[in-house]
A and B are shown apart, each in its own frame.
Chain A
Amino acid sequence: MSLNFNRRSMLRGLLGGSAVCMGIPALDIFLDENGLAFADGAKLPTRFGTYFWGLGLTDTPTGGSRWVPTKTGAGYEITPELESLKAVKNKVSVFSGFRVIGDGRPNIVHWSGHAAILSGQAPAATNRMDGASFDTRIADAIGTGTRFKSIEASASGKVVSFSTRTGTSYSTPETSPIALYTRLFGEGFQDPNSPVWKPDPSIMLRQSVLSAVTDQRAALMAGVGKADQIKLDQYFSSLRDMENQLAIQLQRPEKCEACVIPASPVEKPKAASVDVVNSNTKQMARLLAMGLACNQTRVFNMVHTPGSSETYVAGSSKIYHQITHDEPTDAKLGYQVETSKLAALVMQGFGEFLNEMDAIKEGDGTLLDHSLVMGFSDTGYAKIHSLENIPMFLAGGANGKHKAGQHIATKGEPVTRLSLTAMQIAGAPVGEFGVGAMKTARPLTEVMA
Chain B
Amino acid sequence: MKRTVLKTAFLAASLFIAAPTLAHAAWTKTWVIEWFEPAHIYGAKTGVIDPGTDCPAGTNNSKPEIDWVDVMVKAGYTREEAVWLRDPANPTRSPVNGQNQMAFRGKDRANVYINPTSFPESGNFLPVSGTQAEGINLDGNATTGFVSPAGEKGIDNNFYKALGCWKTYRAPERLSSGALQFNDTMRNGSYTLVVVASGEGKDPMNDPNVTLGIYNSPDKLVKDGAGNISRDYTFRIKPDAKLEAVFKAKSVKGRITSTEAMDEVWMRNPGYDRELQLLKARIDFTMKEDGTLRGYVGGYRPWMPVYVGWVNARGPVIESLTWVSLPDVYYALQRYADYAPTPGGERTHISFALRVDAIPAYVMKPDASTTVAAATSYKAQAPAVVAAVAPASPYRAGGTVDGIVVGRGGAVSQTPDQLRPPAARIAAGTQ
Contact = CB atoms under 8 A, between A and B. Distances in A.
Interface of A: 61-62, 99, 101-107, 271-273, 308-310, 312, 315-319, 321-322, 325-326, 328-329, 331-332, 383-388, 411-412
Interface in B120-179: 167, 171, 175, 177
A362 B95 CA distance: 42
A384 B47 contact: no
A382 to B, nearest CB: 12
A101 B177 CA distance: 21
A412 B227 contact: yes
A319 B184 contact: no
A326 B48 contact: no
A410 to B, nearest CB: 10
A326 B322 contact: yes
B190 A104 contact: yes
A328 B47 CA distance: 10
Interface stretch (B86-94, B277-285, B411-419): B86-94
Contacts of B226: 411-412
B227 A411 contact: yes
B115 interface: no
Q: Chain B: interface residue count, which band?
A: 35 or more
Contacts of A332: 47
Given A102-B189, A104-B189, A329-B48, A317 B89 contact: no
Contacts of A62: 175
A326 B68 CA distance: 14
A321 B95 contact: yes
A388 to B, nearest CB: 6
List the 9 closest pairs (A to B, CB-CB), nearest first: A331-B47, A310-B95, A104-B189, A326-B321, A384-B180, A317-B86, A325-B321, A61-B175, A328-B49
B177 A388 contact: no
Contacts of A329: 47-49
Given A103-B189, A310-B88, A325 B177 contact: yes
Contacts of A331: 46-50
B96 interface: yes
B88 A272 contact: yes
A440 to B, nearest CB: 15
B365 interface: no
Contacts of B95: 308-310, 319, 321
B21 interface: no
A49 B233 CA distance: 41
A312 B48 contact: no
B225 A411 contact: yes
A354 B430 CA distance: 33
B323 interface: yes
B320 interface: yes
Contacts of B430: 315
A103 B223 CA distance: 10
Contact of B188 (A308, A383, A387, A411): A387
A386 B49 contact: no
A105 B180 CA distance: 18
A24 to B, nearest CB: 54
B59 interface: yes
B47 A271 contact: no
Nearest to A112: B188
Contact of B184 (A272, A385, A411): A385
A61 B179 CA distance: 12
B190 A106 contact: yes
Q: Which of A61, A106, A272 has the largest count of B CB atoms less than 10 A from its CB?
A: A61
B220 A322 contact: no
A105 B191 CA distance: 10
A330 B71 CA distance: 26
16 contacts: A61-B48, A62-B175, A105-B189, A107-B190, A271-B89, A316-B88, A317-B68, A321-B96, A326-B321, A331-B48, A331-B50, A332-B47, A384-B184, A385-B181, A411-B226, A412-B226
Contacts of B321: 322, 325-326
Contacts of B65: 326
Contacts of B167: 326, 328
Most chain A CB within a 10 A radius of its CB, from B47, B49, B87, B167: B47
Contacts of A61: 48, 171, 175, 180
Nearest to B219: A104
B189 A383 contact: no
A107 B59 contact: no
Contacts of B181: 384-385
Interface in B246-298: none
A100 B412 CA distance: 33
Nearest to A100: B188
A333 B7 CA distance: 52
A273 B227 CA distance: 36
B49 A106 contact: no
A101 B227 CA distance: 11
B69 interface: yes
B185 interface: yes
Interface in B388-431: 430
B47 A312 contact: no
Contacts of A326: 65, 167, 320-323
Contacts of A310: 88, 95
A102 B223 CA distance: 11
A134 to B, nearest CB: 23
Contacts of B96: 308, 321
Nearest to B228: A412
Given A107-B188, A308-B96, A384-B180, A412 B47 contact: no
Nearest to A307: B96
Contacts of A328: 48-49, 59, 167
Interface in B3-47: 46-47
A384 B37 CA distance: 15
Nearest to B85: A317
A104 B69 CA distance: 42
A387 B188 CA distance: 9
Interface in B219-237: 220, 223, 225-227
B177 A384 contact: yes
Nearest to A106: B190
Nearest to A105: B189
Contacts of A102: 188-189
A14 B322 CA distance: 71
A321 B175 CA distance: 20
